[in-house]
């Protein structure tokens, strides 16, 4: 059976962030992930994980000014120093939190730039980040994001991510495969997972349309969960969806769709 991690950025949002750890454990989750830890003291976060018997499986590298609409800076040639400083900060948090992998949101293209213009910056930044993470015993992930939700995002398809992995050439670089984003951009979920499982480091889920919990949309999650098991994926699946009502009321899918 798949192992599910609660995404604390999306779930249990009716609670203050630091209270979501206990609530996630009470809801039956054994692991959590979330966008960013940097607004909180790393030792307080580590204590919350330990007190509730939780494993943290993921957080992101710093991604610029999130509140202003930035979604990563790895594709910004004029912000390389900021990106590299953020890598060090992310590793510091991950080491304290026991988090084994970090996701790099590559970002939206700078105004007036093309993908070809910024690709060398992306590759150089990913090589730097992968090297630094490898020294700390961590994996680096890159995530294709659908361009309906985030127009202009540099990385939007699995084949683009695979090409970046080839260009960077780092043994610890993998794809974060978000089922929702992949469904919106390309479909072929089962075949893609089967073909590229060795290069996928983490999976996330939500249904489409609406990014709701599994079972609310068009994705055949009962089949997909069985398929993910059958191909030998042993990692966590991050639950990064928008509950229709409250998180707890919407958790019935975990039993009904995985039976």
Q: Tell me, yes or no, if 240 is annotated catalytic.
A: yes
Q: Which one of the listed residues 22, 44, 240, 249 is annotated catalytic?
A: 240
Q: Tell me, yes or no, if 85 is annotated catalytic.
A: no
Q: Are 151 and 213 in contact (CB under 8 A)?
A: no
Q: Which one of the listed residues 33, 85, 134, 143 is annotated catalytic?
A: 143
Q: Are 192 and 186 in contact (CB under 8 A)?
A: yes
Q: Are 129 and 140 in contact (CB under 8 A)?
A: yes
| Active site residue ranges | 143, 240
């Amino acid at each position: 059976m798949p192992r599910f991690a609660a995404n604390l950025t999306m779930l249990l949002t009716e609670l203050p962030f630091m209270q979501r750890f206990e609530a996630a454990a009470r809801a039956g989750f054994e692991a959590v992930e979330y966008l960013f830890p940097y607004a909180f003291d790393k030792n307080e976060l580590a204590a919350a994980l330990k007190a509730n018997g939780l494993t943290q499986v993921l957080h992101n590298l710093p991604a610029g000014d999130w509140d202003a609409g930035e979604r990563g800076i790895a594709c910004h040639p004029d912000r390389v120093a900021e990106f590299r400083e953020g890598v060090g900060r992310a590793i510091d948090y991950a080491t304290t939190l026991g988090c084994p992998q970090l996701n790099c949101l590559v970002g939206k293209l700078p105004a007036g730039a093309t993908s070809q213009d910024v690709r060398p910056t992306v590759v150089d930044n990913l090589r730097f980040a992968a090297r630094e993470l490898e020294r700390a015993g961590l994996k680096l992930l890159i995530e294709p994001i659908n361009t309906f939700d985030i127009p202009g995002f540099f990385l939007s398809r699995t084949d683009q991510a695979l090409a970046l992995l080839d260009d960077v050439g780092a043994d610890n670089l993998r794809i974060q495969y978000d089922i929702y984003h992949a469904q919106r951009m390309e479909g072929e979920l089962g075949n893609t997972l089967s073909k590229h499982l060795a290069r996928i480091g983490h999976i996330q889920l939500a249904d489409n349309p609406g990014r709701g919990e599994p079972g609310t949309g068009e994705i055949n999650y009962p089949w997909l969960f069985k398929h993910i098991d059958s191909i030998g994926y042993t990692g966590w699946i991050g639950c990064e969806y928008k509950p229709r009502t409250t998180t707890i009321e919407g958790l019935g899918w975990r039993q009904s769709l995985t039976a």
